[in-house]
């Protein structure tokens, strides 16, 4: 299993941001097999962690036409900076 950790400093959000975020979340689950997707904001910091079965699914989601538009809008309007990490989950513990 793999996780994508998206961290951003939010510049501004608007209705289009919320609509796009919801659309991409739905797309991740329904089209690319996302296993889980959690996002939180505190102040101007946003962290989203999504879980995937494969790196190929992550790559396909990243290259989706709507996701590419969102990435461009994020750079131009919504975020002052962001980073993305893709990690492999080696162990998992639950309670």
- What residues does 65 pair with on adjacent strands? none
Return d(Cα 78, Cα 71) in angstroms, integer: 10
Helices (H), 33-82: 55-62, 65-73
Question: Quick one: what percent of the chain has pLDDT higher than 70?
Answer: 100
Paired with 45 in beta bridges are 9, 42
pLDDT value for 57: 96
Number of domains in the chain: 1
Q: pLDDT confidence of 14, banded at 50, 70, 90?
A: confident
Q: Is 72 part of a structural domain of the chain?
A: yes
Residue 95 lies in a domain: no
pLDDT tens by residue, 27-65: 999 999 999 999 999 999 999 999 999 999 999 999 999
Q: Is residue 88 part of a domain?
A: no
Give the ranges where the chain is alpha helix by DSSP (H): 15-32, 55-62, 65-73
In a domain, 92, yes or no: no
pLDDT for position 81: 96
Residue 90 lies in a domain: no
pLDDT of residue 84: 96
CATH value at residue 20: 3.30.70
Determine the pLDDT at residue 12.
87
Range of the domain at 29: 2-41+49-80
């Amino acid at each position: 299993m793999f996780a994508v950790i998206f961290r951003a400093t939010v510049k501004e959000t608007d209705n289009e941001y919320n609509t796009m975020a919801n659309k991409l979340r739905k797309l991740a689950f329904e089209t690319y097999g996302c296993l889980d997707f959690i996002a939180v904001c505190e102040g101007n910091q946003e962290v989203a962690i999504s879980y995937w079965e494969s790196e190929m699914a992550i790559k396909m989601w990243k290259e989706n036409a709507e996701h590419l538009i969102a990435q461009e809008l994020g750079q131009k309007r919504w975020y002052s900076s962001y980073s993305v990490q893709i990690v492999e989950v080696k162990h998992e513990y639950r309670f």
